Homo-oligomer: A and B are copies of this chain.
Amino acid sequence: MIQADQRTSFRAALVEAGHLVPTGVRGVFGRGARFEAVRLGLDALITRTAADERAEVLHFPPVIPRHLLESSEYLHSFPHLAGTVFGFEGSELEAAEQYATASRHDDWSRFQTMSDLVLTPASCYPVYAAIGARPPLCPGGVTIDPGAAYVFRREPSDDPARLQMFHMRELVRIAEPVTALAWRDAWVERGLALLRSLGLDATPDVAADPFFGRAGRMLAASQREQQLKVELLVPIAGPEPTAVASFNYHQGYFAGLNGIQFEGGADVHTACLGFGHERIVLALLLAHGLDSDRWPVAVRDQLGLDG
């Protein structure tokens, strides 16, 4: 109950300050000017930090082919988080019925049919497919920057740190196994330094994804045991710190799924990292106060807020 109260009062303060604008749906907010200035400053800071990667920029919209989701394990691991896109393909008469039904806020789902698109669950998904469609990789592999893409997670919540659609700034490394793992591990340290340079009390932790159902507990245990996922945790609201960045080693899973190969046939492994923009901004607002004009000069400098 304490936790719920803290979250409710923090959310109310964020709305009052104009940082978040309610839409009427839980976990879906507009964002005000100062929130966005901090968020874009953060994105630029991540870009500067990653400059030595010389990553290839490759941006995708927040929808991916349904086929890609079907071919992955996503619906096995996270059926509760996926969002699918439906549309109308009926006649003029059906369109009129649909409109009349929807106007009454009655159930008009029967007029909608499943399209060939789903909402992007993680911004690296389309990257693996695109690299798999290229000729085999040269030694050393590639590093891809999908930018700060919107991703969707169907988990309506009153926690302002748990949004249904948010910006995940990823980097993706596709390389030899040792290289991919070393890159992941190095970025845990770089991410930690980045967050601490913003005055955030960040700590790393071996973690697991929120796998669905009873079988999910075994998947989570296995993921932890193999240390495939490391998160950086920061206090936001509630007694437990919140994950604001994750660093993932997928071994050969995504390479195999998408047919990514090296010239000559050596093993390809992948790793990715993701910074959750909105969560980091919330952590900054909690750590330094709701008025970003009064944040420590060093933090404002890092975020380019005086530029």
Taking beta carbons and an 8 Å cutoff, which residues of A are in contact with B? 21-25, 28-33, 36-37, 56-65, 67-71, 75-76, 79-80, 82-90, 92, 95, 98-99, 102-103, 105, 107-109, 112-117, 119, 126, 129-130, 133, 147, 150, 152, 154, 156, 163-166, 212-214
Contacts and interface: CB of A to CB of B under 8 A. Distances in A.
A24 B58 CA distance: 16
Contacts of A68: 23-24
A32 B45 CA distance: 21
B59 A79 contact: no
Closest 4 CB pairs of A and B: A33-B57, A109-B114, A61-B165, A79-B95
Contacts of A95: 75, 79-80, 212-213
A170 to B, nearest CB: 13
Nearest to A109: B114
B63 A36 contact: no
Contact of A65 (B28, B69, B108): B28
B60 A30 contact: yes
A87 B83 contact: yes
B75 A82 contact: no
Main SS at interface, chain A: mixed
A112 B110 CA distance: 11
B85 A119 contact: yes
A102 B69 contact: yes
B112 A114 contact: yes
Contacts of A214: 92
24 contacts: A23-B65, A23-B126, A23-B130, A24-B68, A25-B117, A28-B117, A29-B61, A31-B58, A31-B60, A33-B56, A33-B57, A36-B57, A61-B150, A61-B164, A76-B99, A79-B88, A79-B95, A79-B98, A83-B85, A84-B86, A84-B87, A92-B213, A116-B156, A150-B150
